[in-house]
Amino acid sequence: MLSDCEKAITYRKSIRHFKEQDVDIEVVYSVIEAARWAPSGLNNQPWRFAIVKSREVKEKIANLSHYKRIFLEAPVLIPFFIDKNSIYDREKDLMGVGAAVENMLLKIHHLNLGGVWLGEILKAKEEVEKILEVSDNYEFLGIVAFGYPNEKDDKPRKRKDLTELIIREIL
């Protein structure tokens, strides 16, 4: 039997359809709170976040993406960034940001919300930075869109077998 930690890891999946129901701001903070605890090299914590609930701003971002509907339907967008002044090794720090984003996705799932990591919008990186009016210190790296799920959770997710992922065993 899976514990609730194992369930979150194993059953979390991308949710792309949301109910109209709003998400309380305290819940949004609790999702970002999960990101805080991710590991980072030299504990530099290079991740930063914005919270977007404004319809007007969501529309501006949505218009830059092929996935317009998702941006408009999700009650909350969390654009995430790397703080350029905190970077000690860009590639390690990108992995660290990924760890922080995964914590948010797990927390979202755990709260019976649903979310999705949207990367395609990075093709409009500079436009999004301008729309969000963030300082030049912050480089936009993607968006987590989330809300109350409005889709049946019935498709099993496809993943490679463990045997394909383990390339060497030196025992």
* Closest to its own copies by CB, 73 or 129: 129
* Closest to its own copies by CB, 5 or 69: 5
Q: How far is CA 147 from CA 51, 120, 139, in A?
A: 13, 19, 25
Residue 22 binds its own copies (CB under 8 A): no
Tokens of 6: 């194992």
83: three-class secondary structure by DSSP: strand
* Closest to its own copies by CB, 8 or 27: 8
Residue 65 binds its own copies (CB under 8 A): no
Place of tokens 């979310």: 115
Question: CB count, 10 Å around CB of 147?
Answer: 22
Q: How far is 149 from 164, CA to CA, in rounded Å?
A: 32
Residue 15 binds its own copies (CB under 8 A): no
Hey, which residues between 85 and 104 contact its own copies (CB under 8 A)?
A: 89, 91-92, 94-103
Smallest separation (angstroms) from its own copies to the CB of 30: 9
| Contact string (CB under 8 A) for its own copies, positions 118-157, x = contact | -xx-x---------xxxx--x--xx--------------x
Question: CB count, 10 Å around CB of 27?
Answer: 15
Q: How far is 58 from 89, CA to CA, in rounded Å?
A: 32
Smallest separation (angstroms) from its own copies to the CB of 170: 5
